[in-house]
Chain A
């Protein structure tokens, strides 16, 4: 158990809908990262937050957004969902920024029908 929690574990929704994925980092970690894992793209970095502020952005679609709250939990919002958004979404956390160990949560499996 990495100490990173994610909810829900599974999510099934329809095209055009909006969903919110939630992540709680390990106790003491200030950085939260979101990654997408799909069969064709592999594990891809989406976005990072550090202590409530956006720190780095990857190839995140404009339909996707995230935030980190004062209690350090983070939410990833996916809107106008398309079939191709079906994937595993992982949250990871680390103590700070830079070349630090990232601990991954169990993921949320999203299926868009």
Chain B
């Protein structure tokens, strides 16, 4: 079945530094890769997504890269701010609609 591995499980960076979270997947049919941010007490919020026909996508301080050959994709956050502190989840979906999620990365941005 589908499996998504996510690393690291926790990440602490200083304000202004960059943060990188990596995910690998196993299903070669996967072709949609969203990233969600979850703050305490809230539901997952989509922050960026990428489809398999694109290698990189950027939205202000957030970027996602996809390597379909190696079956991995990464989230990059530049110039981190305290409000970036949250749990981040990668996910994938292929022919089915259901999302398979990674295990989450708790990002802490310190002053």
Contacts and interface: CB of A to CB of B under 8 A. Distances in A.
A56 B43 contact: no
B46 A101 contact: yes
Given A2-B43, A43-B44, A107-B43, A101 B97 contact: no
A90 B97 contact: no
Contacts of A33: 97-99
Contacts, number: 57
A18 interface: no
Interface residues of B, number: 23
A106 B43 contact: yes
Given A43-B89, A99-B51, A99-B93, A90 B100 contact: no
Contacts of B103: 42
B103 to A, nearest CB: 5
Interface of B: 31-32, 34, 36, 42-46, 49, 51, 89, 93-94, 96-104
